[in-house]
Amino acid sequence: MKRTSVVCVALAALAGCAPVHGGDDGHGKNVPAARPIGAAQNCIPISSISESRVQDDWTIDFRTGVRQWYRVTLPQRCNSLGTYRAFKYETSLSELCNTDIITVMEFGGPGGGPRGSCGMGMFQPVEIGK
- Give 31-55 pLDDT, tens digit per residue: 999 999 999 999 999 999 999 999 9
Name the residue with higher pLDDT: 129 or 62.
62
Phi/psi for 79 (5° steps) reads -50, 135
12 pLDDT more than 50: no
pLDDT digits (tens, 9 = 90+) for 75-90: 999 999 999 999 999 9
Q: How many CB atoms lie within 10 A of CB 111?
A: 7
Spatial distance between the Cα atoms of 21 and 106, rounded to a whole number of angstroms: 16
Dihedral sign (CA 47, 30, 13, 88): negative
Helix (H, G, I), strand (E, B) or coil at 96: strand
The confidence score (pLDDT) of residue 19 equals 41
CB distance 22 to 56 below 8 Å? yes
CB distance 21 to 83 below 8 Å? yes
The confidence score (pLDDT) of residue 130 equals 65
For the CA atoms of 25, 15, 86, 106, what is the dihedral angle to 10 degrees?
A: -90
Return the domain boundaries, the chain: 3-21+31-128
The confidence score (pLDDT) of residue 18 equals 39
116 pLDDT more than 50: yes
The confidence score (pLDDT) of residue 17 equals 36
Nearest one of 46, 69, 49 to 59, comparing CA atoms: 69
Name the residue with higher pLDDT: 34 or 3.
34
The confidence score (pLDDT) of residue 16 equals 34
24 pLDDT more than 80: no
Q: What percent of the chain lies above the pLDDT cut of 90?
A: 62
